[in-house]
Amino acid sequence: MQKLDYIHNNPLQEKWRLANYSENYKYSSAKFYLTGEDEFDLLDHYNG
């Protein structure tokens, strides 16, 4: 979970500022974990 949080929050870092919220970053799986919506049609939940 720690690694997943890091990946989801990386685009929000001041250095990058790629999005305001991790679920709004186009290439993030954060939206999938919040809503279950898989825009990429390839994601699986880490919990199985």
Per-residue confidence at 48, pLDDT binned at 50, 70, 90?
A: confident
Is the residue at 7 inside a domain?
yes
Is residue 33 a contact partner of residue 45, using CB atoms and an 8 Å limit?
A: yes
pLDDT of residue 16: 96
The tokens of 36 are what? 């279950």
Q: Provide the domain limits for residue 30.
A: 2-34
- Kindly report the pTM of this predicted structure: 0.83
Question: What does the alpha-carbon distance between residue 34 and residue 29 come to, in Å, rounded to a whole number?
Answer: 9
Per the structure, how many domains does the chain have? 1
Is the residue at 29 inside a domain?
yes
* CA angle, 30 then 34 then 47, to 5°: 80
What is the mean pLDDT of the segment spanning 20-24? 97
pLDDT of residue 41: 94
Is the residue at 17 inside a domain?
yes
